[in-house]
A and B are shown apart, each in its own frame.
Chain A
Amino acid sequence: MTQILSFCNFSGDSFSPKKFEELTDLELADKMEVGEPLRLGKFRNEPATYGMGNLLAPKPYEGEEMEQYPEDWLAEKLEQHAEAIQKSGVEEISVTVVFDEVDGMLNWEMSAKTMAIFGKVGAHLALTVYTKTSEPEEVEELVEV
């Protein structure tokens, strides 16, 4: 069964995930404030020169019917909180959609409204597809579709 992970990554030289959460009531994952020690990379343990956080789209299927595509949910939040996003110092927005366990063909669509919102806020879209040959049990936090 195809699984999907959708999230929106916010970052910026003065971006504060904490301020973002206060202004929007949305919870970010994988947060990092400016000045916090970097967890990984070339400058590990040095103070971060940028802030970062991921807004994870909720499980698309609670019942049998999907009410909203995860990327549509992300677009809705970007539109609703456009002002707060700016105020919290976001400079770069990247939407990532990862499909897993794809068997054969993958058909995907995005509504004109969602595309327009992503374009308006300058969000970059990154799409990754894993076919069924990989082992899904080793990847966490993928949501069943």
Chain B
Amino acid sequence: MEANINLLKIMFLTLPVSEKKWYLLPLMVGMLGTLAWWFSVNFSADDSQKYQELRQKLCDSGKLNLEEILLLSKLLEKSEGLQITDLEFLKELFCAGKDYIFPDKKRFAKIFGKINFHRNIKQEILKDAKKFIRKVGTKNPDIGYTKLGRIVLKHPKTNRVVETDLLFKWYK
């Protein structure tokens, strides 16, 4: 029995890469199916359309009324698990047209209020992002965020960007 298993292992390991993909195909199809099911259950077509409309309106006019902001925020939470109600923050996430946003000092002050970013917030982020600090290769990275509100670290010299598993809103 053990010999047979070993034989199967050897057979699999010696297969060409192109043939190995066949073994992964059912798994990938299964994963995609699960994802599609989750999306259909949690995010109806109406929601999706409304979500797109509100995003479009926000980017075109730069304005939304309170009701629309709350609805967009609710839909964002449903789709991405993010709770963001700040209009400026939503605008940057949806309309900036960049993968990463690295705010300047003015923006940092606006996001974090009167708290000094370097003395408080950055120290806490760097503590939580220790494993990512090693990846980016500097202890004093630039701090930014993705469209989905995840914190990214950038090496100021090499411009290497590392995405963390930390959400920007956790530090507000």
Interface SS of B by simple majority = helix
The answer on a CB contact under 8 Å between A42 and B166 is yes
How many inter-chain residue pairs (CB < 8 Å) link A and B?
72
Report the nearest A residue to B166, measured CB to CB.
Answer: A42
B128 at the interface (CB under 8 A from A): yes
Give the distance in Å from the alpha carbon of A9 to the alpha carbon of B121 in the complex.
13
The one of B106, B116, B139, B165 in contact with A140, judged by C-beta atoms closer than 8 angstroms, is B116
| Chain A residues numbered 13-61 whose CB sits less than 8 Å from any CB in chain B | 29-30, 38-44, 50, 52, 54, 56
| B interface, size bucket | 20 to 34
Give the distance in Å from the alpha carbon of A42 to the alpha carbon of B171 in the complex.
8
Give the distance in Å from the alpha carbon of A130 to the alpha carbon of B114 in the complex.
17
A96 at the interface (CB under 8 A from B): yes
The answer on a CB contact under 8 Å between A135 and B106 is yes
The answer on a CB contact under 8 Å between A126 and B109 is no
Interface SS of A by simple majority = strand
B134 at the interface (CB under 8 A from A): no
The answer on a CB contact under 8 Å between B140 and A128 is yes
A30-B120, A40-B121 as given contacts; A124 in contact with B105, CB under 8 Å = no
The one of B110, B127, B139 in contact with A124, judged by C-beta atoms closer than 8 angstroms, is B139
The one of A30, A41, A127, A130 in contact with B119, judged by C-beta atoms closer than 8 angstroms, is A30
The answer on a CB contact under 8 Å between A43 and B123 is no
Residues of A within 8 A of B (CB): 5, 7, 9, 11, 29-30, 38-44, 50, 52, 54, 56, 94, 96, 98, 100, 124, 126-128, 130, 133-135, 138-141
Residues of B within 8 A of A (CB): 104-106, 109-110, 114-121, 123-125, 127-128, 139-140, 165-167, 170-171
Q: List 23 contacting pairs A-B, 8 Å CB cutoff, sorted by A.
A: A5-B116, A5-B118, A39-B124, A40-B120, A40-B121, A40-B170, A41-B166, A43-B128, A52-B127, A54-B123, A96-B119, A98-B118, A124-B139, A130-B104, A130-B105, A134-B106, A135-B106, A138-B105, A139-B109, A139-B116, A140-B114, A140-B115, A141-B119
